[in-house]
Amino acid sequence: MRILRLAAVVLMLTSSLAAAGGYLLISEAEIQAARRKAAEHEWAKRVLEELLGRARQELSRPLELPDRGGQWPHWYSCRRDGARLVTDSPTEHRCPVCGTVYRGEPYDSVVLYWTHMRYSRAVRDLGLAYRFTGDAAFARRAAEILIGYAERYRSYPLHDIHGEPKVGGAHVMAQTLDESVWLIRVAFGYALVRDTIPEEARRRIEQDLLLASAETIRSHRMGIHNIQCWKNSAVGLAGFATGNQELIREAIDDPERGFRVQIAKGVTEGGLWWEGSLGYHQYTMRALWPLAEAARHAGIDLYSDRYRSLYDAPLALALPNGDPPGFNDNAGRNLLVYGPLYEIAYARWKRPAHGRLVARTNRDTLEALLYGVPEVPEGPVIPTHSTLLRQAGYAVLRSPAMAVAVRFGTYGGGHGHPDMLNIVTYGAGRQGGLDPGSIHYGVPLHREWYRTTIAHNTVSVDGKLQARADGRLKDWKTEAGVTILEASADGAYPGVRLRRRLRLDGEGLQDRFECSSEIEHTYDWAFHAPGRLRVAGVEMEPGGALGDANGYQHLKIRLRGQTDGDWHAVWTDGAVRLIIRMKGAPGTEIYIAAGPGRDPTSMVDALIVRRRAASTVFEARHEFTRE
């Protein structure tokens, strides 16, 4: 087998690359610098104490490695309502909403996923604890875990998320993505304690664990993708840890999937990762840095300006409170959650905005301790001016009154949603228009609601999903306190032209959505927002269903009305009110409905405006007020 040939090569190498890298992701000089930070700064002292506490806890636990690999965590939700399950025992998994108890597979093995991940973190923490304290007990326990996995790895059956022995599956985990995340920590932990392990045990760990896992991951080849970035880091770190130059070259320089081409082709102009999800953008950032750091310690510089732009894009697209707009799968989280990534970014590029973001955090992470600069600048993080990422097809219009995020460009591949010309709004300290984001992919509700057009703040035609088509920017102007954006999505529905023109000034948003065709269609203009919704100027009465497929089956219709005149809708959320004033048009039907929110167990009020025509224009004015 190829793995045996590689192992033989490894035993002949001087491991010069591993030696040059010190402890793979950190050097002895950096360990000393981290000690000084802990002595001089309370935040660093706290992180070090927490690290040592976790390591001591591992020493007190029995070592009980699972007898099989883990499963896909996206299975771990109730199939009825989408709620994340609660683990009552290793074999009983309860829905906290409806009380349903799930037993057997895949749920039992999802619990093992978390067990395997805990052991990978333990190896890393124990290795770091040894380097900080010199206590050999930490190194011995790390070695015991590594040897235990080396003895078991090949006996764990290859399995994918469906339990089948297919390429793309793994041994410790159910997919090469999760196995890569696991292996990165394991390789780092091994490098930290490698010199304390007897030669025969080192040979076993490198051959039967690190290289064997790297081969499993390598067998599954992808192109430009966030998953491949994780795989590159895992394979590259295994290469650096064992001195295997073939793995290092493949991880960094493979012309179709290596680190360099991921940066060259996966990072769009302006810095957004091509999949168009800020959650997966940040996930990609997490995937890339271990390989960049390991290469840096071996004298290879991967910290290019284009790589740096990945860290600029989340700031450019953030809402005023630091939240992402939430487009596509994996809505992402507030900027402050990703402070650990910006610790590394500021240390490497010294970009003030990155340092200012770090200054807003508690700096309570390993990244801050190991890589963070002791003193960071303070100041504003999120821009106050409107920003456009033209190639990715995203923009944020900003004024003192509001921020409006718009999605008008590329679809985003497998993680894209059918929601071209979707908008998200923010004002008066609250998010108004909401994008639903996504939930666990193994739950039917994810496909039936979260990946539908009606779940977003755009127009659906004939109750169908938009096609996987790109949009196009038609106009962009920012001057004298006014921002104008106009975009089209003519490929979303056959024979239908869709145009959205947004004009944001210091008071609110003028929103004009044009729909035109040669034949009559049913156009549904939708807007979802937190708070209680009411409609003024129209007599409303109880209403029935709007449809039974493509997401409509999950809309709960509360009231309906009809008018030809002007009217307005109001969402009241505490002291904040979002008002949308709509211009009249013949035959307008208005529905007050509710659909699943970011949390599938909570419902969000939605306004649906329906018209039947060949062409129509939905003209609205959005304003926020605070009582």
Q: How far apart are CA 351 and CA 379, in angstroms?
A: 13
Q: Which pair of structure tokens corresponds to residue 231?
A: 């795989």
CB 250 within 8 A of CB 235: yes
Query: pLDDT confidence of 237, banded at 50, 70, 90?
Result: very high
Express each pLDDT in 434-490 by its tens digit. 999 999 999 999 999 999 999 999 999 999 999 999 999 999 999 999 999 999 999
Please compute the mean of the pLDDT values over residues 109-113 and round it to a whole number: 98
Mean pLDDT of the chain: 95
* Count of C-beta atoms within a 10 Å radius of residue 45: 14
CA distances from 334 to 198, 331, 384, 604 (A): 45, 10, 17, 20
Three-state DSSP at 33 gives helix
Three-state DSSP at 288 gives helix
Please compute the mean of the pLDDT values over residues 176-183 and round it to a whole number: 98
Whether the upstream peptide bond of residue 596 has omega within 30° of 0, thus cis, is no
The answer to whether the pTM exceeds 0.95 is: no
Domains of the chain: 2-71+106-371 (1.50.10.100), 387-626 (2.70.98.70)
- Least confident interval from 21-25, 529-533, 617-621: 21-25
pLDDT > 70 fraction of the chain, expressed in percent and rounded: 97
Contacts of 498 (CB under 8 A, 6+ apart): 420, 421, 459, 488, 489, 490, 492, 513, 514, 515
Q: Which of 79, 73, 76, 75 is nearest to 100 (CA)?
A: 79
Please compute the mean of the pLDDT values over residues 164-191 and round it to a whole number: 98
CB 209 within 8 A of CB 175: no
Please compute the mean of the pLDDT values over residues 5-29 and round it to a whole number: 56
State which H helix or E strand residue 20 sits in. Answer: helix 16-20
pLDDT of residue 2 exceeding 60? no
Q: Which of 135, 174, 149 is nearest to 51 (CA)?
A: 135
Express each pLDDT in 310-366 by its tens digit. 999 999 999 999 999 999 999 999 999 999 999 999 999 999 999 999 999 999 999
Angle at which helices 278-297 and 339-349 cross, to 10°:
50
**Count of residues making up the chain:** 627
Three-state DSSP at 54 gives helix
Q: Which residues of 447-464 are buried (b: 16+ CB within 10 A; e: fewer)?
A: ebbbbbbbbbbbbbbebb
Query: pLDDT confidence of 27, banded at 50, 70, 90?
Result: very high
Q: How far apart are CA 565 and CA 124, in angstroms?
A: 65
Query: pLDDT confidence of 567, banded at 50, 70, 90?
Result: very high
Q: How far apart are CA 71 and CA 77, in angstroms?
A: 13
Query: pLDDT confidence of 543, banded at 50, 70, 90?
Result: confident
Please compute the mean of the pLDDT values over residues 504-513 and round it to a whole number: 96
Three-state DSSP at 609 gives strand
Q: Which residues of 156-172 are buried (b: 16+ CB within 10 A; e: fewer)?
A: bebbbbeeeeeebbbbb
CB 205 within 8 A of CB 197: yes
DSSP assigned state of 295: H
Angle at 29 between CA 28 and CA 31, to 5 degrees: 60
Q: Which pair of structure tokens corresponds to residue 467?
A: 């096609």
Phi, psi values for residue 569, rounded to 5°: -120, 145
Q: Are strands 430-431 and 496-504 parallel, antiparallel or unpaired?
A: unpaired
**What is the pLDDT, as a whole number, of residue 627?**
82
**What is the pLDDT, as a whole number, of residue 93?**
98
**What is the pLDDT, as a whole number, of residue 564?**
97
Express each pLDDT in 399-448 by its tens digit. 999 999 999 999 988 999 999 999 999 999 999 999 999 999 999 999 99
**What is the pLDDT, as a whole number, of residue 42?**
97
Express each pLDDT in 248-274 by its tens digit. 999 999 999 999 999 999 999 999 999
